[in-house]
Structure 1
Amino acid sequence: MGKSSVVINFPNPSRIYDASRHCVCFWGYDNSREIAFLVDDAMLTKLNPDMGSDEHALLAAFDRNRDRILELARSLYSGGPQNRYTIA
């Protein structure tokens, strides 16, 4: 399957902060397959350098940059057996 034919959708706006991994997690779907995406704290801080680094600030940074982050996720996703991607 070529990368150009792979489609991932993000119908669920849910996201959570995972303090143990220092990232915000969200999910995309390739047909009925759920794919996890993790955006690390450093990436969110780069996108919003003037924000704090607590859970609330990182979730707000994710929300402000959701469209950009989803585009990054689409460009990373290649189909196949991998079910977790990290955006760093």
Structure 2
Amino acid sequence: MTLIFPNPSRSFDKARSAVRFSGYDGMFEVPFLIEIAALGKSASELRMPEALEATCLTAFDTLRGTIYAAASKAYAEGRRAPRVLTSADLR
């Protein structure tokens, strides 16, 4: 089956310094994380903890198509769950 992303939900994971989201392969949920550094945030933005969550989620929304393409590629390569996307995956 093809990996799809019918649910636009995403959440900030402060402990992992990442944004969590899910895709679906048929009825199976496929969890992903994307590192906040991969969202293109500058060092100064990453040092502002009070705005970090909103900044990261907005960046995720802006890059959603690129992130979903990278997630689909990572899934096709057979990476283990949770699949962690980095800056290199978005190139």
Q: Same fold (TM over 0.5)?
A: yes
TM-score, with structure 1 as normaliser: 0.81
TM-score, with structure 2 as normaliser: 0.78
**Larger helix proportion of the pair:** 2
CA gap 1:32/1:61 in 2 versus in 1, 3 angstroms: same
Please point out which of 30, 45, 51 is paired with 1:52: 45
Q: For this pair of structures, how many residues does the alignment match?
A: 81
CA gap 1:55/1:78 in 2 versus in 1, 3 angstroms: same
Segments of 5+ residues of structure 2 without an aligned counterpart are 47-51, 87-91
Structure 1 contact 24–39 (Cα < 8 Å) conserved: yes
Structure 1 counterpart of 2:31, one-letter code: A
| Deviations, residues 24-58 of structure 1 (Å, cap 9, x unaligned) | 0000000000011100011012xx54982311101
Q: RMSD value over aligned CA atoms?
A: 2.3
Q: How does 1:1-40 map to 2 (within 5 A)?
A: 6-40=1-35
- Identity within the alignment, %: 35
